[in-house]
Amino acid sequence: MTPSRIMLFWGLGGLAIFVILALLPWVNPGLLVHFHSFSALILVFLTGSLWLPAVTHEDRHVPAITLAMILFLLAWVSFYLPLWLAVLVLVPAYPVLWWQERRWFGRAQPLDYRNLRTLLTWTVTALHILALAAVI
């Protein structure tokens, strides 16, 4: 399997989990906790997309490393917030990460990666709103 297909497989697989978890609060609002947990963990995982390009950059790209740490802390702190607020604070995190990753390192990224990240980012952002709508 090519790297592009592997990336597509895992990206869409993760998205399928997001879709299922975003629909669960419509059945039982208490299940929003599972959506939040998965989202926070995926956000922390995605902050790693800034580390490699940042540390291999000539000046170690301090803004990228700083953003990665801020998003990591945001995901961690979200576990101590009321559940609806925890999900709400994660909504802008995905687009911010996508935008900055693209702005700082986009030219060095393969086109298929950029396209997949765009699809996943905006779909996941919409799924946050869908999950929140079930409990607000």
**What is the full DSSP assignment across 103-122?**
HHHGGGS-HHHHHHHHHHHH
How far apart are alpha carbons 79 and 98 in whole angstroms? 22
**Is there a contact between 14 and 122 (Cβ–Cβ < 8 Å)?**
no
Distance from CA of residue 32 to its chain's centroid? Answer: 17
pLDDT of residue 54: 81
How far apart are alpha carbons 94 and 121 in whole angstroms? 6
pLDDT of residue 49: 85
> How does DSSP classify residue 59?
T
pTM of the model: 0.93
pLDDT of residue 50: 86
List of the chain residues with pLDDT < 50: none
pLDDT of residue 104: 87
> How does DSSP classify residue 29?
G
Number of residues that make up the chain:
136
